[in-house]
Structure 1
Amino acid sequence: MDKIIIATRKSALAMWQSEYIKNILEKTHGVEVVLQGFKTKGDVLLDSPLAKIGGKGLFTKELEESMLRGEAHIAVHSLKDVPTFFPSGLKLAAITKREDVRDCFLSMKYKNLYELPQGAKVGTTSLRRQMQLLLLRKDLKLISLRGNVNSRLEKLKNEEFDAIILAKAGINRLNLEKEVNFTYAFSKDEMIPAASQGALGIESIENSELEAVLSCLNDENSFMETYIERDFIKALEGGCQVPIGINAELQGEQIKIRAVLGLPNASEILKEEQLVSKNLYKQAGFLLAQKMIQNGAKELLNRALKMI
């Protein structure tokens, strides 16, 4: 191919991600890569929590439609925002090496979650984070925080919040640690990340020549880890509308899997942790989901939906 057009959101993080992929493709193949910016519903509808207005698919729909109209060839997503199904004519063509997968605490005044005063105001968009924060500190006042990364940081600096929670990957990519006085990356035992957090997913039109060009972006370890996580979410029929954390971490010849789900107020949760051989990665997510379903996961998630 002589030219590849990337459909991208216009936020700083989305542009960084698209530029990152653009640079790799240009250096590897010498192909011309052009960015085409779009504003998605997820960028416009900022007054309501994502879980109430349709979930993270709101960040991908306009980009997918642009590809189906022939206006772009690929879209670069945070893989955690990508649903487990794709419109006819599109596919997940590549998954990049992961950045730091952890969630991160940011504050102008307090070193970490445990130094916050009683009833502190903490901003987060995620029901998954909300549930796990309340497991750690039941006294916190959790407030929905929408908008791009930079606008969230401004709200923190303007003292609308005592702290906010963001993905460490986005902070690293945009070099934002210098913007705040204190950051604290949660361990995976404290807060289990979202499925696919830290990885970029390259969605493309179905085209064998294009797919061959994009293959240089694939990371085998990231593919295995996110395969487990996405399969787990798919089996539970869950998305960002319900509180689910799932992380698979390759450790030599084994993969450590941590999973949590429950009610947004953390009054009831299910939590699992297991080690599996990496050779069994294609079954691991589904089997773990089935185990949690037998322990009442579907019923718990149905109740969680009613609480949103």
Structure 2
Amino acid sequence: MDKGLTERMRKIVVGTRQSALALTQTGQVIDHLKELCERNGIEVEFELKKIVTKGDRILDVTLSKVGGKGLFVKEIEQALLDGEIDLAVHSMKDMPFELPEGLVIGAIPEREDPRDGLITIGGRGLDDLPEGAKIGTSSLRRSSQLQNYRPDFRIEPVRGNIDSRLGKLETEGFDAIVLAAAGLRRIGWEDRISAYLPPELCLPAVGQGALCIECRGDNEFVLDLLARYRHEPTAIAVSAERSFLGRLNGGCQVPIGAYAQLGEVNADGKPEITLTGMVGSPDGKRMLKETMNGTDPEKLGLALAEALIAKGAAELLSIAGE
């Protein structure tokens, strides 16, 4: 077991998926950790290890049909448990609520833009798209909310890395593609975004725009290092969203979204949290949405989930999971 940051560390092996986006955001994390180490006089060598996940191997089936949460993290988590890597960089929206025994979330860095981005030919906005527009997304959450907003939309699945999905905008006759804005911004393609979908119209996925740095719970050196990398406001917001997700036991088969925003700090030093959550039917014909405020992220997420369950969310979840 490591003894803390007072000792020299030989090497930290960082595990990640091998997509261009995963490698880019992992490289950014490593750069930030290197700067942090240099400022604190800590000598560390970082090594990158690429890992192929089930979600990367299966590209011809929509995520909702492949399986639940964890499609892009299980193989990486196994590498952590086996000691092949020391920490892993994930997109938080890919993370299941329950972690394998022995693993913990060591840090959540500052969040990127959590919204979904609309990419169209000619830079058209959502309301400028024609009747019966063909929109590409493999996310039930996006599909449900877009069809709730405009039932005339034809939603078609589109998988693959960001580059291949953008290419299909022209080659497969899509009027629009919807992607997480954070990924496009991280790889420097912000200019491809025609419009940002406001959370009021399309609530983001839980943790969207945030990264998760996962490690073993007994690796004190890495835990101490990551504690210095944690962005507290992001961690609080994501904690509320994940608490909501955990109570509803939501995965990729369920149209579910949540977004927490932090407000003013109260006399106890705790920020006011505004949390909005939604559960919908896959076709978008039923949509349950609620907003609540509080200062305890875990309790707020649970309370919001219970409020939606009281409105009928359990029935929608059971139908969506069939």
1:26 alignment counterpart: 34
1:100 alignment counterpart: 113
- One-letter code of the match for 2:118? F
1:208 paired to 2:220? yes
1:12 paired to 2:28? no
Determine which of 187, 193, 203 is the counterpart of 1:192: 203
1:304 paired to 2:320? yes
Q: Deviations over 1:20-44 (max 9, x none)?
A: 1111111211411110111111011
In structure 1, what is the Cα distance between the partners aligned to 2:240 and 2:289? 16
Deviation at 1:281, TM superposition (A): 2.2
Deviation at 1:46, TM superposition (A): 0.7
In structure 1, what is the Cα distance between the partners aligned to 2:150 and 2:312? 25
2:97 alignment counterpart: 84
Conservation of the 8 A alpha-carbon contact between 2:12 and 2:86: yes
* Regions of 4+ moved over 3 Å: none
In structure 2, what is the Cα distance between the partners aligned to 1:157 and 1:212? 48
- Residues 95-244 of structure 1 correspond to what in structure 2 (within 5 A)? 95-178=108-191, 180=192, 183-206=194-217, 207-244=219-256
In structure 2, what is the Cα distance between the partners aligned to 1:154 and 1:224? 37
1:69 paired to 2:79? no
Conservation of the 8 A alpha-carbon contact between 1:124 and 1:130: yes
Conservation of the 8 A alpha-carbon contact between 2:181 and 2:190: no
In structure 1, stretches of 5+ residues that fail to align are: none
Deviation at 1:110, TM superposition (A): 4.7
Q: Deviations over 1:145-192 (max 9, x none)?
A: 1111111111113253110001111111011134x4x51001111111
1:289 alignment counterpart: 305
Conservation of the 8 A alpha-carbon contact between 2:118 and 2:197: yes
Bigger proportion of residues as helix: 1
Determine which of 254, 262, 267 is the counterpart of 2:280: 262
Q: Deviations over 1:227-274 (max 9, x none)?
A: 110000100111221000110111223222111111010111211122
SS of residue paired to 2:127: helix
User: Which has the higher mean CA deviation after the structures are superposed, 289-298 or 157-166?
Assistant: 157-166
In structure 1, what is the Cα distance between the partners aligned to 2:161 and 2:17? 11
User: Which has the higher mean CA deviation after the structures are superposed, 99-108 or 249-258?
Assistant: 249-258
- One-letter code of the match for 1:82? M
1:273 paired to 2:285? no
How many residue pairs end up in the alignment?
Answer: 302
When normalised by structure 1's length, the TM-score is 0.95
Conservation of the 8 A alpha-carbon contact between 2:14 and 2:86: yes
In structure 2, stretches of 5+ residues that fail to align are: 1-8, 38-42, 266-271
In structure 2, what is the Cα distance between the partners aligned to 1:143 and 1:77? 26
Identity of aligned residues (%): 42
In structure 1, what is the Cα distance between the partners aligned to 2:316 and 2:248? 11
In structure 1, what is the Cα distance between the partners aligned to 2:88 and 2:100? 13
SS of residue paired to 1:246: strand
Conservation of the 8 A alpha-carbon contact between 1:110 and 1:116: no
Conservation of the 8 A alpha-carbon contact between 2:67 and 2:253: yes
